[in-house]
Amino acid sequence: MGKIVLAAKITHVPTIWLSEHVEKHKGIRQSAIDGLRELGRRAAARGVDTFVVFDSHWIVNQGFHLNASARLKGRFTSHELPHFLFDMDYDYRGDADLARLIEKYGNEAGLKTLAHDVPGLGFEYGTLIPMHHMNRDARARVLSVACDQFADVDENRRFGAAVAEAVRASDRKVALLASGSLSHQFWPNALSAKGLNTVNGEFNRQVDLRVLELWESGRIREFLDMLPDYAERCHGEVRMADTAMLFGALGWDSYNGKGEILTPYFGSSGTGQCNVEFPVT
Ligand SMILES: [Fe+2]
Protein backbone atom coordinates (compact mmCIF):
# COMPACT_ATOMS: atom_id res chain seq x y z
CA MET A 1 0.00 0.00 0.00
CA GLY A 2 1.36 3.40 -0.96
CA LYS A 3 1.56 6.43 1.26
CA ILE A 4 2.29 10.11 1.38
CA VAL A 5 5.61 10.42 3.19
CA LEU A 6 5.96 14.19 2.95
CA ALA A 7 3.65 17.11 2.20
CA ALA A 8 4.72 20.71 1.76
CA LYS A 9 3.86 24.11 0.38
CA ILE A 10 6.97 25.27 -1.43
CA THR A 11 8.49 28.14 -3.34
CA HIS A 12 9.68 27.91 -6.95
CA VAL A 13 10.67 31.51 -7.66
CA PRO A 14 13.03 31.96 -10.63
CA THR A 15 15.14 34.29 -8.49
CA ILE A 16 16.46 31.03 -7.00
CA TRP A 17 18.17 30.38 -10.34
CA LEU A 18 19.36 33.99 -10.41
CA SER A 19 20.77 33.52 -6.93
CA GLU A 20 22.89 30.65 -8.17
CA HIS A 21 23.92 31.80 -11.62
CA VAL A 22 24.14 35.58 -11.81
CA GLU A 23 27.04 37.13 -9.95
CA LYS A 24 25.19 40.30 -9.02
CA HIS A 25 22.48 38.32 -7.25
CA LYS A 26 24.55 35.50 -5.77
CA GLY A 27 23.04 34.18 -2.54
CA ILE A 28 19.83 36.21 -2.47
CA ARG A 29 17.71 33.06 -2.20
CA GLN A 30 20.01 30.88 -0.14
CA SER A 31 17.39 30.46 2.55
CA ALA A 32 14.85 29.22 -0.01
CA ILE A 33 17.44 26.80 -1.43
CA ASP A 34 18.32 25.53 2.05
CA GLY A 35 14.63 24.90 2.77
CA LEU A 36 14.10 22.99 -0.47
CA ARG A 37 17.22 20.92 0.14
CA GLU A 38 16.11 20.05 3.66
CA LEU A 39 12.71 18.95 2.37
CA GLY A 40 14.48 16.86 -0.27
CA ARG A 41 16.70 15.32 2.40
CA ARG A 42 13.65 14.43 4.52
CA ALA A 43 11.84 12.93 1.53
CA ALA A 44 14.87 10.81 0.63
CA ALA A 45 15.28 9.67 4.25
CA ARG A 46 11.65 8.48 4.15
CA GLY A 47 12.29 6.50 0.98
CA VAL A 48 10.42 8.70 -1.50
CA ASP A 49 9.72 7.02 -4.84
CA THR A 50 7.89 9.88 -6.54
CA PHE A 51 7.53 13.63 -6.15
CA VAL A 52 4.01 14.64 -7.15
CA VAL A 53 4.07 18.36 -7.86
CA PHE A 54 0.98 20.56 -8.11
CA ASP A 55 2.62 23.00 -10.48
CA SER A 56 1.12 26.50 -10.63
CA HIS A 57 3.08 27.20 -13.82
CA TRP A 58 1.47 24.38 -15.73
CA ILE A 59 -1.72 26.36 -16.14
CA VAL A 60 -4.64 24.76 -17.96
CA ASN A 61 -8.06 26.10 -18.89
CA GLN A 62 -10.19 23.08 -18.13
CA GLY A 63 -9.92 19.73 -16.43
CA PHE A 64 -7.17 18.06 -14.42
CA HIS A 65 -4.03 17.01 -16.24
CA LEU A 66 -1.03 14.83 -15.42
CA ASN A 67 2.24 14.39 -17.25
CA ALA A 68 2.49 10.63 -17.73
CA SER A 69 5.70 10.54 -19.77
CA ALA A 70 8.13 7.84 -18.72
CA ARG A 71 11.12 10.17 -19.04
CA LEU A 72 11.36 13.94 -19.15
CA LYS A 73 14.53 15.46 -20.45
CA GLY A 74 15.29 18.86 -21.87
CA ARG A 75 16.72 22.33 -21.51
CA PHE A 76 14.34 24.88 -20.03
CA THR A 77 14.14 28.64 -20.39
CA SER A 78 11.14 30.38 -18.87
CA HIS A 79 8.97 32.17 -21.39
CA GLU A 80 7.56 34.30 -18.54
CA LEU A 81 10.86 35.46 -17.09
CA PRO A 82 13.64 34.51 -19.51
CA HIS A 83 16.03 37.00 -17.90
CA PHE A 84 15.67 35.14 -14.56
CA LEU A 85 15.55 31.50 -15.58
CA PHE A 86 17.41 30.11 -18.58
CA ASP A 87 19.36 27.10 -19.81
CA MET A 88 18.28 24.73 -17.08
CA ASP A 89 19.04 21.14 -18.10
CA TYR A 90 16.88 18.42 -16.65
CA ASP A 91 16.46 14.68 -16.92
CA TYR A 92 13.98 12.81 -14.71
CA ARG A 93 12.06 9.57 -14.77
CA GLY A 94 8.33 10.21 -14.81
CA ASP A 95 5.71 8.03 -13.14
CA ALA A 96 3.25 6.83 -15.76
CA ASP A 97 1.74 4.16 -13.50
CA LEU A 98 0.86 6.60 -10.75
CA ALA A 99 -0.38 9.14 -13.30
CA ARG A 100 -2.79 6.53 -14.74
CA LEU A 101 -3.98 5.62 -11.25
CA ILE A 102 -4.65 9.27 -10.38
CA GLU A 103 -6.45 9.62 -13.72
CA LYS A 104 -8.68 6.68 -12.76
CA TYR A 105 -9.49 8.00 -9.28
CA GLY A 106 -9.99 11.55 -10.55
CA ASN A 107 -12.51 10.39 -13.16
CA GLU A 108 -14.27 8.16 -10.63
CA ALA A 109 -14.66 11.26 -8.47
CA GLY A 110 -16.44 12.96 -11.36
CA LEU A 111 -13.50 15.21 -12.28
CA LYS A 112 -12.39 15.36 -15.87
CA THR A 113 -8.87 13.97 -15.47
CA LEU A 114 -6.40 13.19 -18.24
CA ALA A 115 -2.92 11.66 -18.10
CA HIS A 116 -0.74 12.47 -21.10
CA ASP A 117 2.21 10.64 -22.57
CA VAL A 118 3.00 13.14 -25.30
CA PRO A 119 6.44 14.00 -26.70
CA GLY A 120 7.01 17.72 -26.27
CA LEU A 121 4.96 18.06 -23.10
CA GLY A 122 7.82 18.95 -20.78
CA PHE A 123 7.99 20.30 -17.26
CA GLU A 124 7.35 23.87 -16.18
CA TYR A 125 9.42 25.68 -13.61
CA GLY A 126 7.00 25.12 -10.74
CA THR A 127 8.31 21.57 -10.96
CA LEU A 128 11.83 22.14 -12.23
CA ILE A 129 13.14 24.66 -9.71
CA PRO A 130 12.09 22.61 -6.66
CA MET A 131 13.33 19.36 -8.22
CA HIS A 132 16.68 20.96 -8.99
CA HIS A 133 17.24 21.23 -5.23
CA MET A 134 15.01 18.57 -3.70
CA ASN A 135 15.82 15.72 -6.09
CA ARG A 136 19.42 16.58 -6.85
CA ASP A 137 20.51 13.11 -7.92
CA ALA A 138 17.23 12.61 -9.86
CA ARG A 139 16.81 9.34 -7.98
CA ALA A 140 13.08 9.79 -7.40
CA ARG A 141 10.46 9.89 -10.14
CA VAL A 142 8.68 13.17 -10.88
CA LEU A 143 4.98 13.52 -11.68
CA SER A 144 3.83 16.99 -12.58
CA VAL A 145 0.16 17.96 -12.14
CA ALA A 146 -1.42 20.98 -13.82
CA CYS A 147 -3.49 23.70 -12.14
CA ASP A 148 -6.78 24.66 -13.77
CA GLN A 149 -7.16 28.42 -13.58
CA PHE A 150 -10.96 28.14 -13.76
CA ALA A 151 -11.48 25.31 -11.25
CA ASP A 152 -13.12 26.28 -7.97
CA VAL A 153 -11.77 25.53 -4.52
CA ASP A 154 -14.08 22.57 -4.01
CA GLU A 155 -13.04 20.89 -7.26
CA ASN A 156 -9.40 21.31 -6.28
CA ARG A 157 -10.14 19.87 -2.84
CA ARG A 158 -11.81 16.85 -4.42
CA PHE A 159 -8.96 16.37 -6.87
CA GLY A 160 -6.45 16.43 -3.99
CA ALA A 161 -8.51 13.80 -2.20
CA ALA A 162 -8.51 11.66 -5.37
CA VAL A 163 -4.71 11.97 -5.56
CA ALA A 164 -4.40 10.75 -1.96
CA GLU A 165 -6.70 7.79 -2.72
CA ALA A 166 -4.63 6.90 -5.77
CA VAL A 167 -1.42 7.07 -3.77
CA ARG A 168 -2.90 4.71 -1.16
CA ALA A 169 -3.90 2.30 -3.92
CA SER A 170 -0.39 2.37 -5.41
CA ASP A 171 2.87 0.92 -4.14
CA ARG A 172 4.55 4.33 -4.08
CA LYS A 173 5.99 6.46 -1.33
CA VAL A 174 5.05 9.95 -2.44
CA ALA A 175 6.17 13.44 -1.54
CA LEU A 176 3.30 15.80 -2.32
CA LEU A 177 4.23 19.38 -3.15
CA ALA A 178 2.05 22.45 -3.55
CA SER A 179 4.39 24.53 -5.67
CA GLY A 180 3.09 28.07 -5.56
CA SER A 181 3.14 31.48 -3.99
CA LEU A 182 1.34 32.99 -1.03
CA SER A 183 0.25 36.47 -2.17
CA HIS A 184 1.16 36.96 -5.80
CA GLN A 185 1.18 40.54 -6.95
CA PHE A 186 4.22 41.39 -9.05
CA TRP A 187 5.67 44.87 -8.91
CA PRO A 188 4.98 47.10 -11.92
CA ASN A 189 7.92 47.54 -14.30
CA ALA A 190 9.05 50.86 -12.82
CA LEU A 191 9.52 49.20 -9.41
CA SER A 192 10.55 45.69 -10.41
CA ALA A 193 14.32 46.05 -9.91
CA LYS A 194 13.98 47.82 -6.57
CA GLY A 195 11.35 45.34 -5.41
CA LEU A 196 13.30 42.18 -6.22
CA ASN A 197 13.36 41.03 -2.58
CA THR A 198 10.13 42.50 -1.25
CA VAL A 199 6.39 41.88 -1.13
CA ASN A 200 4.11 44.20 -3.07
CA GLY A 201 1.93 45.85 -0.45
CA GLU A 202 1.64 45.81 3.32
CA PHE A 203 -1.83 44.29 3.07
CA ASN A 204 -0.51 41.27 1.19
CA ARG A 205 2.46 40.95 3.54
CA GLN A 206 0.30 41.07 6.66
CA VAL A 207 -2.22 38.54 5.35
CA ASP A 208 0.58 36.19 4.31
CA LEU A 209 2.13 36.42 7.77
CA ARG A 210 -1.24 35.68 9.34
CA VAL A 211 -1.66 32.64 7.10
CA LEU A 212 1.73 31.33 8.22
CA GLU A 213 0.67 31.86 11.87
CA LEU A 214 -2.52 29.88 11.25
CA TRP A 215 -0.56 27.07 9.58
CA GLU A 216 2.07 26.95 12.33
CA SER A 217 -0.55 26.79 15.06
CA GLY A 218 -2.61 24.14 13.25
CA ARG A 219 -5.63 26.37 12.64
CA ILE A 220 -6.20 24.83 9.23
CA ARG A 221 -9.98 25.02 9.33
CA GLU A 222 -9.81 28.80 9.76
CA PHE A 223 -7.33 29.03 6.92
CA LEU A 224 -9.57 26.98 4.64
CA ASP A 225 -12.52 29.23 5.50
CA MET A 226 -10.56 32.25 4.33
CA LEU A 227 -8.90 30.57 1.33
CA PRO A 228 -11.37 31.73 -1.36
CA ASP A 229 -11.16 35.38 -0.18
CA TYR A 230 -7.40 35.16 0.36
CA ALA A 231 -6.80 33.80 -3.13
CA GLU A 232 -8.96 36.54 -4.59
CA ARG A 233 -7.78 39.58 -2.62
CA CYS A 234 -4.10 38.68 -2.46
CA HIS A 235 -3.92 37.67 -6.13
CA GLY A 236 -3.28 33.98 -5.42
CA GLU A 237 -1.19 32.23 -8.04
CA VAL A 238 -3.69 30.24 -10.17
CA ARG A 239 -6.14 31.08 -7.37
CA MET A 240 -4.02 28.92 -5.07
CA ALA A 241 -5.20 25.73 -6.74
CA ASP A 242 -1.99 24.03 -5.56
CA THR A 243 -2.79 24.78 -1.94
CA ALA A 244 -6.40 23.61 -2.15
CA MET A 245 -5.22 20.34 -3.75
CA LEU A 246 -2.62 19.82 -1.02
CA PHE A 247 -5.11 20.25 1.81
CA GLY A 248 -7.62 18.13 -0.11
CA ALA A 249 -5.05 15.34 -0.09
CA LEU A 250 -4.35 15.84 3.61
CA GLY A 251 -8.01 15.56 4.60
CA TRP A 252 -9.15 19.18 4.30
CA ASP A 253 -10.71 20.52 7.50
CA SER A 254 -10.17 17.25 9.35
CA TYR A 255 -6.40 17.68 8.96
CA ASN A 256 -4.94 18.35 12.40
CA GLY A 257 -1.24 18.80 11.75
CA LYS A 258 0.82 21.93 12.32
CA GLY A 259 2.98 23.47 9.64
CA GLU A 260 6.74 23.65 10.15
CA ILE A 261 8.37 26.63 8.49
CA LEU A 262 11.66 25.65 6.88
CA THR A 263 12.28 28.89 5.04
CA PRO A 264 11.17 32.08 6.76
CA TYR A 265 8.73 34.23 4.82
CA PHE A 266 10.35 36.31 2.09
CA GLY A 267 9.39 38.55 -0.80
CA SER A 268 10.40 37.91 -4.39
CA SER A 269 9.53 40.37 -7.18
CA GLY A 270 6.47 41.43 -5.16
CA THR A 271 5.19 37.95 -4.29
CA GLY A 272 5.13 36.30 -0.85
CA GLN A 273 7.03 33.01 -0.51
CA CYS A 274 7.74 30.22 1.95
CA ASN A 275 8.70 26.58 2.42
CA VAL A 276 6.42 24.86 4.93
CA GLU A 277 6.17 21.16 5.70
CA PHE A 278 2.83 19.73 6.84
CA PRO A 279 3.31 16.49 8.77
CA VAL A 280 1.18 13.64 7.44
CA THR A 281 -1.12 12.73 10.32
FE1 LIG B 1 5.19 31.12 -9.67
How far is the centre of ligand 1, averaged over its atoms, from the C-alpha of 227 (Å)? 18
- 213 in any annotated domain: no
Q: What is the pLDDT of residue 215?
A: 98
- 208 in any annotated domain: no
How far is the centre of ligand 1, averaged over its atoms, from the C-alpha of 184 (Å)? 8
Q: What is the pLDDT of residue 107?
A: 98
How far is the centre of ligand 1, averaged over its atoms, from the C-alpha of 159 (Å)? 21
- 166 in any annotated domain: yes
- 90 in any annotated domain: yes
- 135 in any annotated domain: yes
Q: What is the pLDDT of residue 7?
A: 99
How far is the centre of ligand 1, averaged over its atoms, from the C-alpha of 53 (Å)? 13
How far is the centre of ligand 1, averaged over its atoms, from the C-alpha of 55 (Å)? 9
CATH number for 169: 3.40.830.10
How far is the centre of ligand 1, averaged over its atoms, from the C-alpha of 80 (Å)? 10
pLDDT in tens, 144-156: 999 999 999 999 9
pLDDT in tens, 18-66: 999 999 999 999 999 999 999 999 999 999 999 999 999 999 999 999 9
* Domain limits for position 91: 3-182+241-264
pLDDT in tens, 154-172: 999 999 999 999 999 999 9
- 143 in any annotated domain: yes
Answer yes or no: are the C-beta atoms of 3 and 67 closer than 8 Å: no
How far is the centre of ligand 1, averaged over its atoms, from the C-alpha of 72 (Å)? 21
Residue 266 clears pLDDT 90, i.e. is over it: yes
Residue 187 clears pLDDT 90, i.e. is over it: yes
Q: Where are the beta strands (DSSP E) in the chain?
A: 3-10, 50-60, 64-67, 71-76, 88-93, 113-116, 141-148, 173-179, 260-268, 271-277
- 80 in any annotated domain: yes
- 277 in any annotated domain: no
How far is the centre of ligand 1, averaged over its atoms, from the C-alpha of 171 (Å)? 31
Residue 201 clears pLDDT 90, i.e. is over it: yes
Angle subtended by helix axes 220-233 and 153-169, to nearest 10: 130
Alpha-carbon torsion 26, 132, 14, 30, what sign? negative
d(Cα 47, Cα 122) in Å, to the nearest integer? 25
Residue 281 clears pLDDT 90, i.e. is over it: no
Number of domains in the chain: 1
Q: Average pLDDT in the 173-178 region?
A: 98
